[in-house]
């Protein structure tokens, strides 16, 4: 079955639209559309999928691989059999790796349902930044974020924003593709997990400070500790309060 990223790229090429045109029509950056096509961003909210299908002059069902018909009929609808309330509720409440595993078993793309589909669950909206592209304090990376609704139960109290983690350096504590929830603060206690800026590069590590020495440690033992040198530009962007 064709993957979502391939269907997006193929359909955009067929209708002759550029990445920038799709981005403008959807109200997202060109970089976001490019990451959908490359598969770097694997999870797309249901509302974004509907808007993407409209921009690509096709249907959400076609992009999801459920239907081979490319016509524009039914642009605003997903097949309801795929969105029964109890299943959507359980799916939306699960952490990202469990959502992705469920989709892998079912052979469907990872799509985040809108919270309107999930009855009687209080929600909150968070800015979630693309971790690999973050430059400076993540809140300044204006072109690299999505607004995502989460069940209130999964967002820790005091979180200011989310960051999507890429890579396995924090496994098994934080899985590749997880979203970490961060509170902006300039210092941490020993052993706490934080988001750090090192010479303009963002990193998620566990923090240790002894005397004048700062050490950042991965959870994955295959990665060496990072000892911050006096000449490096370094600061703490915030503390990781939890992950999804």
Q: pLDDT tens digits for 102-151?
A: 777 777 767 666 655 555 667 788 888 875 433 334 444 445 677 777 87
Task: Name which of 9-18, 74-83, 107-116, 189-198 the model is least confident about.
Answer: 74-83
Say what the pLDDT of residue 77 is: 47
First to last CA, the chain: 28
User: With contact defined as beta carbons under 8 Å apart, do 212 and 169 qualify?
Assistant: no
Q: How confident is the model at residue 177 (pLDDT cuts 50, 70, 90)?
A: confident
User: With contact defined as beta carbons under 8 Å apart, do 162 and 197 qualify?
Assistant: no
Exposure string (b/e) for 15-39, b if CB count within 10 Å is 16 or more? eebebeebbeebebbebbbbbbbee
Which of residues 145 and 89 earns the better pLDDT score? 145
Half-sphere exposure of 108 (CA within 13 A, CB side): 16
CA 16, 20, 22, 25 torsion: positive or negative? Answer: negative
- Which DSSP state fits 114? P
CA angle 54, 58, 63 (to 5 degrees): 100
Residue 218 token pair: 């991965």
What backbone torsions phi and psi does residue 201 show, to the nearest 5 degrees?
-105, 135
Do β-strands 179-183 and 234-243 pair in parallel, antiparallel, or remain unpaired? Answer: antiparallel
Say what the pLDDT of residue 223 is: 92
User: With contact defined as beta carbons under 8 Å apart, do 195 and 204 qualify?
Assistant: yes
What backbone torsions phi and psi does residue 81 show, to the nearest 5 degrees?
-65, -20
Task: Name which of 60-74, 129-143, 166-180 the model is least confident about.
Answer: 129-143
Beta strands in the chain (DSSP E): 43-45, 110-112, 123-130, 145-151, 161-164, 179-183, 193-198, 201-210, 213-217, 226-227, 234-243
Query: What percentage of the chain's residues is helix, strand, coil (to nearest 5)?
Result: 30, 25, 40
Q: Domains of the chain by range and CATH?
A: 4-117 (1.10.260.40), 123-243 (2.10.109.10)
Residues 181 and 111: their CA atoms lie apart, in Å, by 20
Q: How confident is the model at residue 190 (pLDDT cuts 50, 70, 90)?
A: very high
Residues 99 and 117: their CA atoms lie apart, in Å, by 16
Half-sphere exposure of 133 (CA within 13 A, CB side): 18
What positions carry a catalytic annotation?
169, 205
Could you tell me where the DSSP H helices lie in 64-95?
A: 85-93
> pTM of the entire structure?
0.57
Best-predicted range by mean pLDDT (3-7, 61-65, 100-104, 225-229): 225-229
pLDDT over 70, % of the chain: 73
The label of the residue with tokens 């990376």 reads 141
């Amino acid at each position: 079955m064709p993957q979502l990223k391939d269907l997006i790229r193929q359909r955009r090429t067929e209708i002759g639209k550029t990445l920038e045109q799709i981005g403008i029509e959807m109200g997202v950056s060109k970089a976001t559309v490019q990451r959908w096509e490359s598969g770097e961003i694997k999870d797309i909210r249901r509302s974004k999928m509907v808007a993407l299908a409209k921009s690509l002059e096709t249907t959400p069902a076609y992009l999801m691989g459920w239907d081979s018909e490319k016509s524009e009929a039914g642009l605003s609808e997903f097949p309801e059999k795929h969105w029964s309330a109890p299943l959507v509720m359980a799916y939306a409440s699960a952490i990202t790796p469990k959502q992705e595993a469920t989709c892998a078993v079912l052979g469907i793309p990872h799509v985040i349902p809108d919270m309107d589909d999930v009855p009687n669950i209080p929600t909150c909206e968070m800015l979630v930044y693309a971790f690999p592209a973050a430059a400076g304090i993540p809140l300044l990376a204006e072109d690299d974020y999505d607004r995502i609704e989460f069940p209130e139960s999964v967002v820790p109290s005091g979180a200011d924003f989310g960051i999507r983690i890429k890579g396995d350096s924090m496994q098994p504590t934080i899985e590749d593709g997880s979203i970490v929830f961060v509170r902006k603060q300039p210092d941490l206690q020993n052993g706490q997990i934080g988001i750090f800026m090192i010479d303009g590069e963002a990193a998620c590590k566990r923090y240790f400070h002894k005397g004048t020495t700062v050490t950042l440690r991965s959870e994955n033992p295959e990665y060496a500790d990072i000892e911050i040198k006096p000449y490096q530009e370094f600061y703490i962007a915030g503390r990781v309060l939890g992950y999804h």
